[in-house]
Amino acid sequence: MHCQSGPPRYAVCVCNLYAMTRPRDAIRQLFWVSSDRTANQPPQPAIFPDQLAPVVRIARDGDRVMEMMRWGFPPPLNLGTRPVTNVRNTASPYWRAWLKPEFRCLVPATSFAEYTDSQPKVPHWFALGADRPPFAFLTTEANTVVRPVRAKAMPVILTDETWDTWLGADTAAALKLQQPLSAERLAIVATGQRQDAAV
């Protein structure tokens, strides 16, 4: 969940598919947004890399704003032209400058999908519950709910008690959030579809 300042704007998440199915008004209230620049976009049951989706960040004037950003981040020069869509190695010199509070954002989501590591590749949708309560995320190792589907990694799921820390704390404090959500708080809510069946 790193935001690049200045146009074009990019956001980096984890996995390669997530959904944001709550109405924008509910998201504005939940994330304490004072300025909405999303033009009241409809729910998005499938968000893929390089698509625009809402993020929440702190503007230069200190207001919490919601705006649309493209999913992906310009890659290091030696890695070609494909946008980076996942950040896991926050110790990398490439990411160090982008970990400051002014470049962080929250990516509102109601579920995320991981494809099975083995063939056939089947999407499994994960959420905090069947009612898809919103959360925000970055990247970490997989917990015991996600690991049987995809062993390599999962999103760091940030709930409302950690949003202020991610957006405004110093880098060391913010990076302490980069750990898996406890397994009992996460569930598979749909399987086999390329969009969240909640919509």
Q: What is the pLDDT along the chain (199 residues), one digit of tens a residue?
A: 545 444 444 444 446 889 999 888 888 999 999 999 988 778 899 999 888 999 999 999 999 999 998 888 877 777 778 777 777 778 888 888 888 888 888 889 999 998 888 888 899 999 999 999 888 776 677 889 988 888 777 888 888 899 999 999 999 999 998 888 899 999 999 998 899 977 5
In sequence order, the 6+-apart residues with CB closer than 8 A to the CB of 2 are: 11, 12, 73, 87, 95, 98, 99, 103, 104, 105
Dist CA 60 CA 78 (whole Å): 32
- Domain 10-191 superfamily per CATH: SOS response associated peptidase-like (3.90.1680.10)
pTM: 0.84
Q: Are 36 and 108 in contact (CB under 8 A)?
A: no
Q: Return the domain boundaries, the chain.
A: 10-191
Q: Are 108 and 44 in contact (CB under 8 A)?
A: no
Phi, psi for residue 195 in degrees, rounded to 5: -145, 155
Amino acid letter, 106: L
Q: Are 190 and 197 in contact (CB under 8 A)?
A: yes
